[in-house]
A and B are shown apart, each in its own frame.
Chain A
């Protein structure tokens, strides 16, 4: 919403710097996106270089066919010689002149220049050069014979400051300069002018035939008939205001509808009355298959849910959204029907979405416009149409059903103070509300103005109306809080993250929605985001593989990534089970992945028990399962190279984390260390040797760790030698050589019995 300050000042006095106004509007009314300074810059006396000029002579430039050479009186006694490229004027014309040194709206500085050998001592301006309109076919010829030398700023709106507001959807009343002025009057406790528009005398009593077939969609329709309309271009002040407000000037009659809409917030429409079949207006839903061409030249097929304005035969306009080409007001139009109606928001929103057609009108209707506003808009538009197009107002009709009564809300000023955390005088609160158009309050009952009836229906809504004007004064305090700490699972998740970072993995975030998932019952979105984001994942693997591949593609080295995120498992309930998983991908193959999984288990004090497993995504010979998940080497068909991958279910992993760690005495009595190497068949897993040894030796075997696996000349074919570092230790006594020997014997014989293992000398 663009709010030119010159326009705003029509309704409310303003004597603060624009930056301060913008700050306060920003805090209490609506976001100010920008402050736009437009038109002729008002600085360093620049406006003094813009004058009214009278053309004394105009003739062909001696050296250029396309140029005119003029002598122009700018009130200096001696006329100035000015070269001009336009031909839409002659001797006696009153024109707008910029003198050398003037800074133009586009930032250029005008210099005294020679054009084709002739001095030009100034510039005769077009409306586009002044940013007063869009016309650049000729220069601007002033309609009134102002005295030469009159400051141009006295007769034309040369420069303006415009606030660009981003209003919230609950405030359609702010999509009007008058509505913004009402807020400014509350901000500064200053007087708001009465609503603009004075009903002129009606010069006739012709019937206007309007019928509403769908009051749900259109609670009110005011139609006014004008005859002897002279369609022409609008005067400069009106064009300048529309351009400053971002609207395109078209013709006086159409410009009035846009001007009144932007002033008051009620979109209007005008029809060429002579094109209306049967001279009638019918507001109804579209018929199946009905078509018409909108103002933008598009042929549109209507949906039976679309609300239309029709004549006796067919649809002629999209109610509230856009008019039709066949009934448009043109230069030749002499009889005009003005529409000041009210349309219901949801239907307009749906039609506008259905046809992908958003307009100034739909933007207001879809937020809910006050039905009482139609009358004020009709009055103001009538005054301006009569004034600007010399039309005769001859007919009037106001078709409506009972309009809603303004809501009455109970309000306790003490409640506003309590909620704000700031003592606010009840008198001041009621004064603010009154500036905004709320009435009453003495007995605790507030009548809400009709233009706020949708948004303000309860006491807290009134509290907001008061508090938003005091936001900067509210102090900063802290609430008392409660006893709070991270849950066990939240703390353990942080441990997992930190351990993996310590292992050299960097943390990735990958999409929860994947192209496909190995689980047959994975949840598929009926309308996916895209083909790549269609299924709620049950495993983190594909996202990690994609991230690994990206890093390979861009040439990164030392690739090691992990992710902590949820997977979504079908539960049989309406909503899936969301489980936290941790997964990783690391360059370096099986043992790199296993090292990470071991480190993670070690940090959490969870035993890692491992079995062989088969998984489609893993190398068939390098795949393992553990209690909380799996790890292994990624199947090379998925991503070339040796990649270690793992994925663990965090609830399962955390279930095994001991709540309390108990001190174990490994300090008082020293350990006895020995290296033992066993020769076993190739297929015997080292882990089983350790398990068996532990069963045989009991708790005095404190540690048994593989440090070498050897195959080769000194070992029979089909066999391997596994070397262990073992530690014997007791918490109760120092183990003697004899004790250690006995423990060792038990291990050797158990391994021999079970696996045929031979101790190497």
Chain B
């Protein structure tokens, strides 16, 4: 057997194989069990011949491997060059629902306050007049206690007009310090229009501890305003009046659209009203058995719908209760 001639013939067959099948045919023919080379190797008797034939086999195997790699690569290239999609066609549909905008804002607010060390309290919606009014420094005869404003269930039982009674219940149940927020539905006898709904959502916050100051209130509201409306926001506070806080302060945030220059969102004032706040009135602290000489506190209340409407340009509060999917699917 002429090893050199065999090798030449085999290398030429390997390198001329156009497909993996042709290459496999060549491999069987020259390196298969019944091939001339394998036959010869089995019959080898002397070391020199064996070395020569083994070297031929090794080179042929390497040649097959190289050719195979080249053929696979060119096959893949051919496939890739043929496979093309219109990437602008729509993807396969998956059904995805949408969390209500109010829930999204509720979670944002909860997370802001969890980060500041405030617990989230689920207060009851059906309350008694002590927790909704008396304890909050609104004695009998106060104008909001009228059935013209408040929904009565029976006797002293009412639907809460704000989330504040949950503050009272928390303070009744524990000693200071108290750091809490409470979010949920509130009810007022309002005629529905674009900005009024008899059922709406509020967030109420309360901090009572030794040495709580107006500065703490300002810093906390600033932190919330930036979380909700952007890091660039400023806040300002204006004197106001609520029975349960003294001093009482209205909070406003610089307009997120015009950054204070004046636009239609902020009615050309540069500022957007956020809600009411203030330092907890000592009468309220006394009503729950706290000593106003030892502890002080701040409280605030904001409407969740109002935040949503401002931030997302929702024109009518009643849209939150229609549950029209054309609305829900936008958020």
Interface of A toward B, CB cutoff 8 Å? 26-31, 168-171, 346, 349, 418-422, 458, 460-461, 463-464, 467-468, 471-472, 474-487, 489-490, 494, 497-498, 500-513, 523, 525-527, 529, 533, 536, 547, 550-551, 554, 556, 558-562, 565-566, 568, 574-576, 578
Contact A460 B189 (CB under 8 A): no
A558: B residues at CB distance < 8 A: 95, 325
16 CB contacts below 8 A, A to B, read: A463-B246, A463-B247, A464-B247, A467-B214, A468-B247, A471-B214, A479-B207, A482-B118, A486-B110, A497-B103, A502-B96, A506-B98, A506-B323, A551-B323, A558-B325, A566-B125
Residue B282 lies at the interface, judged by CB distance under 8 Å to chain A: yes
Given contacts A484-B118, A511-B321, A568-B125, 10 further A-B contacts (CB under 8 A): A31-B250, A478-B116, A479-B212, A484-B119, A497-B103, A504-B95, A509-B102, A512-B125, A536-B153, A560-B97
Residues of chain B within 8 A (CB-CB) of A554 are: 324, 326
> How long is the Cα–Cα vector from A421 to B220 in the complex, in angstroms?
14
**B289 interface contact, C-beta 8 A:** no
B82 to chain A, nearest CB (A): 36
CB within 8 Å of A: which of B217-256? 218-220, 222-223, 236-241, 246-250
Given A475-B215, A478-B219, residue A501 in contact with residue B99 (CB < 8 A) = yes
- Chain A, residue nearest B104 (CB): A507
> DSSP class of A's interface residues: helix, strand, loop or mixed?
loop
Check A474/B322 contact, CB under 8 A, given A479-B209, A512-B199: no
A474 to B198, CA, bound (A): 36
A501 pairs with B153, CB closer than 8 A: no
**A548 CB, min distance to chain B CBs, angstroms:** 9
Contact B102 A574 (CB under 8 A): no
CB contact under 8 A between A568 and B126, given known A494-B107, A508-B323? yes
B213: A residues at CB distance < 8 A: 418-422, 474, 477
A509 touches B100 (CB 8 A): yes
Chain B residues 137-176 with CB under 8 Å of chain A are: 141, 143, 147, 151-157
Query: Contact at B97–A526, with CB atoms within 8 Å?
Result: no
Mostly, the B contact residues are mixed
Q: Which of B114, B141, B151, B157 contacts A529 (CB 8 A)?
A: B151
Task: Write the chain B residue with the least CB distance to A464.
Answer: B247
A574 lies within 8 A of B218 (CB): no
Asked if A27 meets B239 with Cβ closer than 8 Å, knowing A475-B218, A478-B116, A502-B96, the reply is: yes
Q: How far is the CA of A6 from the CA of B76 in the complex (A)?
A: 89
Question: B215 contacts which of A421, A487, A507, A562 (Cβ < 8 Å)?
Answer: A421
Q: How far is the CB of B242 from chain A (nearest CB, A)?
A: 9
Interface flag for B202 (CB, 8 Å): no
List chain A residues, Cβ under 8 A from B279. 419, 460
Q: Chain A contacts of B326 at CB under 8 A?
A: 554, 556
Query: Nearest residue in B to A170 (C-beta to C-beta)?
Result: B241
**Do B323 and A472 touch (CB < 8 A)?**
no
A residues less than 8 Å from B189 (CB atoms): 529
Within 8 Å CB of A560, what residues of B? 95, 97
A481 contacts B118, C-beta separation under 8 Å: yes
Which of B114, B154, B177, B219 sits near A526, CB closer than 8 Å?
Answer: B154
Contact A508 B100 (CB under 8 A): yes
B61 interface residue, CB < 8 Å from A? no
By beta carbon, the residue of chain B nearest A486 is B120
In Å, the complex CA distance between A538 and B155 comes to 21
Are B241 and A171 in touch, CB under 8 angstroms?
Answer: yes
* Neighbour of B323 across the interface among A418, A479, A487, A509, CB < 8 A: A509
